[in-house]
């Protein structure tokens, strides 16, 4: 899969650790002990969500679809 850049918000949790979400990719929720771990988990979740959209023939969220089209143009 091509590399896409998505907007991800990471915020600290009161009980410790961090939570990542994305307005670009609904359903992306990741939690980790450190910011780096949270980002790594978020990347994996994003990859799996996008693969699921594609595998099931579902329409990608607009920003994801646009980013995917843009990366495909660069590789042609």
- Structure token digits, residue 72: 């495909």
pLDDT tens, the chain, 76 aa long: 567 888 999 999 999 999 999 999 989 999 999 999 999 999 999 999 999 999 999 999 998 888 888 776 665 5
According to the model, what pLDDT value does residue 75 have? 56
Degrees, nearest 5: CA angle 8-34-7: 5
Question: Which helix (DSSP H) or strand (DSSP E) does residue 66 occupy?
Answer: helix 62-75
Instruction: Give which of 8, 18, 14 is closest to 64, Cα–Cα.
Output: 8
Q: What is the pLDDT of residue 71?
A: 72
The domain that contains 48 carries what CATH number?
Answer: 3.30.160
Domain that holds residue 52: 9-75
Q: What is the pTM of this model?
A: 0.83
- Coil/strand/helix, residue 39: helix
Residue 35 lies in a domain: yes
Does residue 4 belong to any structural domain of this protein? no
The rounded distance, in Å, linking the Cα atoms of 24 and 6 is: 6
């Amino acid at each position: 899969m091509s590399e896409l850049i998505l907007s991800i918000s990471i915020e600290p949790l009161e009980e410790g650790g961090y939570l990542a979400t994305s307005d670009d990719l609904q359903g992306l929720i990741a939690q980790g002990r450190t910011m780096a771990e949270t980002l790594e988990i978020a990347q994996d979740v994003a990859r799996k969500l996008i693969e699921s959209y594609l595998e099931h023939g579902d329409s990608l969220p607009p920003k994801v679809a646009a980013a995917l089209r843009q990366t495909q143009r660069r590789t042609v």
